[in-house]
Amino acid sequence: MRLRSDYESIAEPVRMFHCHCRDCQRASGGPYSSYVVVPAKAFKLLQGSLRYYPSPSERGGMTRRGFCPDCGSPVAVKPDAAPQLVGIRTASLDDPSWFNPQVDTWTSDAHPWDQMNPALPKYQRYPTS
């Protein structure tokens, strides 16, 4: 599935979610970041390259947030703790209308004014599966 003119995934999403952790808040400039997770082997840059910024992960290793080196737009996240996965930032999709979040993670860091969808399962930190 072509997700954007400069990257694609040859697999369907594994999970779609909102992360409310402080790192995602800082990276997004908002109350959370939204992700479409795909197998790392299925994610392919079609042109250019990403510049990665690493930050420590509570699951071990680093979480590497990939940005476009030309415009600074956040594009992807690669966690050392789950190298088989890539989280694609929904804001980077050409058409984010099909995004359908399944869970809210790191709700322990959510702001009190963050109006989360009450129908979505909530995890204080990482999902159990």
pLDDT in tens, 32-76: 999 999 999 999 999 889 999 999 888 888 999 999 888 888 999
For residue 128, is pLDDT > 80? no
Mean pLDDT of 11-32: 93
3-state helix, strand, coil in the chain (%, to 5): 15, 35, 50
Quote the CA–CA distance of 43 and 60 in Å, as a whole number. Answer: 23
For residue 1, is pLDDT > 60? no
pLDDT for residue 2: 54
For residue 122, is pLDDT > 70? yes
Token pair for 40: 């790392």
Mean pLDDT of 23-29: 90
pLDDT band at 6 (very low <50, low <70, confident <90, very high): confident
pLDDT tens digits for 80-89? Answer: 999 999 999 9
Q: Please tell me whether residue 93 adopts helix, strand or coil conformation.
A: coil
For the chain, what percent of residues have pLDDT higher than 70? 95
Q: pLDDT averaged over the chain?
A: 91
Quote the CA–CA distance of 106 and 24 in Å, as a whole number. Answer: 10
